[in-house]
Chains A and B, each alone.
Chain A
């Protein structure tokens, strides 16, 4: 039963990673920006949910409001900082998002993020359920379902909507998309908004599991990076598969080798992957 239980927990972690890394992939695909601030934004979501719940909002409302506020934050962030360096060398975007990560973490520290904050899930999700003979807290099932539904919604939206068409066009060939009249600047605003909203929501939804503090997103950032590299930089379906692979490796690794060795195993796997399969699971990642 241990195996089943571990696999279920791997799916839970994978789902959280899925929601976090889709945004990372999108920003990379459209803006060619590797967002080092992604982990800090995960922490922002977790802290935001704690604050909103502490302000007397119901759990569901806290999540919903986190989503909306984070989207606004993302658009503001892109407008205020990222859009200023669109035409600069790639290095600048790395440094800039790294600076944003430091700034955000610093703000969260001062806003009470030095201490661990606990977010209690609503009583309706407090019980445990038995899946395939293994017991799992009901809340984890809820988080997985939420993450999968949202990720699926995003993928369908990308496939079917006009916005999704523009995003995919810019993802495939940004210059050509601009020639066809797609405003990359405003498109990027919306992409960063969506990406921030998703990662903040996954932080908020994961807060009852991981708790909330200023650096809770650090580990998620590293895992999400490993995810997008395994899946191939810029490949959406690669990220979907890789998220669950990473989730399984971390959960099984932590269970069998004790804590920190799992990250080492994952890193070795990613290195091997880069040697033999640098374009990710579906061979559609970018290597530029």
Chain B
């Protein structure tokens, strides 16, 4: 399709696809190791809960990377979509059905509709105005929680969400939850990689690199950006929906700009546009926060300082730091990196 015309990658399957590469083996090994977490945490159930939270955070980070990594648009209010998904799904589970396959789509549809409406105006904005407006929009959603506090529970948060069912069976055990969240994460990562190699993904990258030229070769830049925004919002809402069902409650704090900041941080730490990087960043940070918050409650200071430090010293994140080594490895194997 259109994307191919600007892609420098050779047409057909991307290099490495369909062959057994060290990276592919590593990815499968890592995925399996992640799936086995419940086995070796049998004695420490709270570790498993922590790992489940990390999986949700990773989903959220990947959702932001879907937008920023692909199109270069930087959302400072991504927690808004996360919170929207959490509230929409939580209300659906309370008022309608606790079936996972019914309640979660409610959140997705809500996010898609709202992001289509807001995004249609937002994607016209370039860079700074987009960043400002996404932050403002998340604050509006935050304010709405309090405005409709008789429905949402206001300051106390949304509570009393029933135990969700999956095809009619209750998801009660922590292991089942972990595998559900982890499975979703792996599926989303795989889908994100597939999307990156699809014509749509190529078109997005073209827009990120040079929106003007992408426009010249006949792409609908605005529409493609809107798709990225909607996909990203829906995925963030999915993370929020799983979060609320897993927790059984949610609070307005999920929409606060601190949360948006944390997501940004996951992404920046992991490396923008690397898909896996933000997920890794999210896992590292969630674990660090849980550990740190038992020692000190001043985590904002540490995270803020680290954030400032990373942006100044290593704007590419951890993966950015690893890039030179990766290039060397790729060159030795005689492949374009």
The one of A99, A260, A264, A271 in contact with B308, judged by C-beta atoms closer than 8 angstroms, is: A99
Q: Report the Cα distance A81→B309, complex, angstroms.
A: 9
Interface string of A6-34 (1 = CB under 8 A from B): 00000000000000000000001000001
Assess the A102–B144 pair: CB atoms within 8 A: no
Q: Is B11 an interface residue (CB 8 A)?
A: no
By the criterion of a CB under 8 Å from any partner CB, how many residues of chain A are at the interface? 45
Assess the A98–B125 pair: CB atoms within 8 A: no
Assess the B308–A218 pair: CB atoms within 8 A: no
Q: Is A48 an interface residue (CB 8 A)?
A: no
Assess the B136–A267 pair: CB atoms within 8 A: yes
The smallest C-beta distance from A49 to any residue of chain B, in angstroms, reads 22
Q: Report the Cα distance A34→B307, complex, angstroms.
A: 17
Q: Is A206 an interface residue (CB 8 A)?
A: no
Assess the A270–B133 pair: CB atoms within 8 A: yes
Q: Is B131 an interface residue (CB 8 A)?
A: yes
The smallest C-beta distance from B72 to any residue of chain A, in angstroms, reads 8
Q: Is A216 an interface residue (CB 8 A)?
A: no
In chain B between 254 and 279, which residues have their CB closer than 8 angstroms to a CB of chain A? 257-258, 261, 264-265, 268
With a CB–CB cut-off of 8 A, which chain B residues contact A106?
298-304
Assess the A98–B264 pair: CB atoms within 8 A: yes
Assess the A260–B137 pair: CB atoms within 8 A: no
Known contacts A95-B264, A109-B300; A229 and B129 CB within 8 A of each other: yes
Q: Give the dominant DSSP class at A's interface.
A: helix
Assess the B300–A103 pair: CB atoms within 8 A: yes
The smallest C-beta distance from B220 to any residue of chain A, in angstroms, reads 18
The one of B124, B303, B307 in contact with A95, judged by C-beta atoms closer than 8 angstroms, is: B307
The one of B74, B132, B261, B300 in contact with A225, judged by C-beta atoms closer than 8 angstroms, is: B132
With a CB–CB cut-off of 8 A, which chain B residues contact A102?
258, 261, 300, 303-304, 307
With a CB–CB cut-off of 8 A, which chain A residues contact B285?
none
Interface string of B118-144 (1 = CB under 8 A from A): 100100111111011101110110011
Known contacts A34-B128, A36-B76, A106-B300; A222 and B136 CB within 8 A of each other: yes
In chain A between 84 and 115, which residues have their CB closer than 8 angstroms to a CB of chain B? 84-85, 88, 90-92, 94-96, 98-107, 109-110
Assess the A34–B304 pair: CB atoms within 8 A: no
Q: Is A275 an interface residue (CB 8 A)?
A: yes
Q: Report the Cα distance A225→B140, complex, angstroms.
A: 13
Q: Report the Cα distance A103→B306, complex, angstroms.
A: 9
With a CB–CB cut-off of 8 A, which chain A residues contact B146?
259-260
The one of B126, B128, B299, B300 in contact with A94, judged by C-beta atoms closer than 8 angstroms, is: B128
The smallest C-beta distance from A223 to any residue of chain B, in angstroms, reads 9
Assess the A34–B121 pair: CB atoms within 8 A: no
With a CB–CB cut-off of 8 A, which chain B residues contact A101?
261, 304
Q: Is A287 an interface residue (CB 8 A)?
A: yes
Known contacts A90-B127, A106-B300; A263 and B140 CB within 8 A of each other: yes
Specify which of A101, A102, A271, A278 lies most central, judged by the most chain B CB atoms within 10 Å of its CB. Answer: A102
With a CB–CB cut-off of 8 A, which chain B residues contact A28?
128
Q: Is B14 an interface residue (CB 8 A)?
A: no
Interface string of B139-153 (1 = CB under 8 A from A): 110011011000000
Q: Is B311 an interface residue (CB 8 A)?
A: yes
Assess the A85–B300 pair: CB atoms within 8 A: no
Assess the A85–B311 pair: CB atoms within 8 A: yes
Q: Is A204 an interface residue (CB 8 A)?
A: no
Chain A minimum-CB-distance residue to B117: A271
Known contacts A34-B131, A98-B264, A222-B135; A260 and B144 CB within 8 A of each other: yes
In chain A between 111 and 145, which residues have their CB closer than 8 angstroms to a CB of chain B? none
Q: Report the Cα distance A264→B203, complex, angstroms.
A: 34
With a CB–CB cut-off of 8 A, which chain B residues contact A91?
72, 74, 127
Assess the B136–A261 pair: CB atoms within 8 A: no
In chain A between 171 and 201, which residues have their CB closer than 8 angstroms to a CB of chain B? none
Assess the A229–B307 pair: CB atoms within 8 A: no
The smallest C-beta distance from B277 to any residue of chain A, in angstroms, reads 15
The smallest C-beta distance from B47 to any residue of chain A, in angstroms, reads 27
Interface string of B173-187 (1 = CB under 8 A from A): 000000000000000
Assess the B128–A233 pair: CB atoms within 8 A: yes
Assess the A263–B308 pair: CB atoms within 8 A: no
Chain A minimum-CB-distance residue to B68: A91
Q: Is A64 an interface residue (CB 8 A)?
A: no
Chain B minimum-CB-distance residue to A287: B126
With a CB–CB cut-off of 8 A, which chain A residues contact B124?
274-275, 278
Q: Which residues of A contact B (CB under 8 A)?
A: 28, 34, 36, 81, 84-85, 88, 90-92, 94-96, 98-107, 109-110, 218, 222, 225-226, 229, 233, 258-261, 263-264, 267, 270-271, 274-275, 278, 287-288
24 pairs of residues in contact across A and B, judged by CB atoms under 8 Å: A81-B308, A85-B312, A90-B127, A94-B76, A96-B311, A98-B76, A98-B264, A99-B265, A99-B305, A102-B261, A109-B300, A110-B298, A222-B139, A225-B135, A226-B136, A233-B128, A260-B143, A263-B143, A264-B147, A267-B140, A271-B118, A275-B121, A287-B129, A288-B127
Closest 10 CB pairs of A and B: A106-B300, A103-B304, A99-B307, A102-B304, A106-B301, A260-B143, A99-B308, A260-B147, A96-B311, A263-B143
Q: Which residues of B contact A (CB under 8 A)?
A: 72, 74, 76, 118, 121, 124-129, 131-133, 135-137, 139-140, 143-144, 146-147, 257-258, 261, 264-265, 268, 298-305, 307-308, 311-312, 315
Kindly list 7 other residue pairs between chains A and B, CB separation below 8 angstroms, not including A84-B312, A260-B143: A91-B127, A98-B261, A110-B301, A261-B147, A264-B144, A270-B133, A287-B129
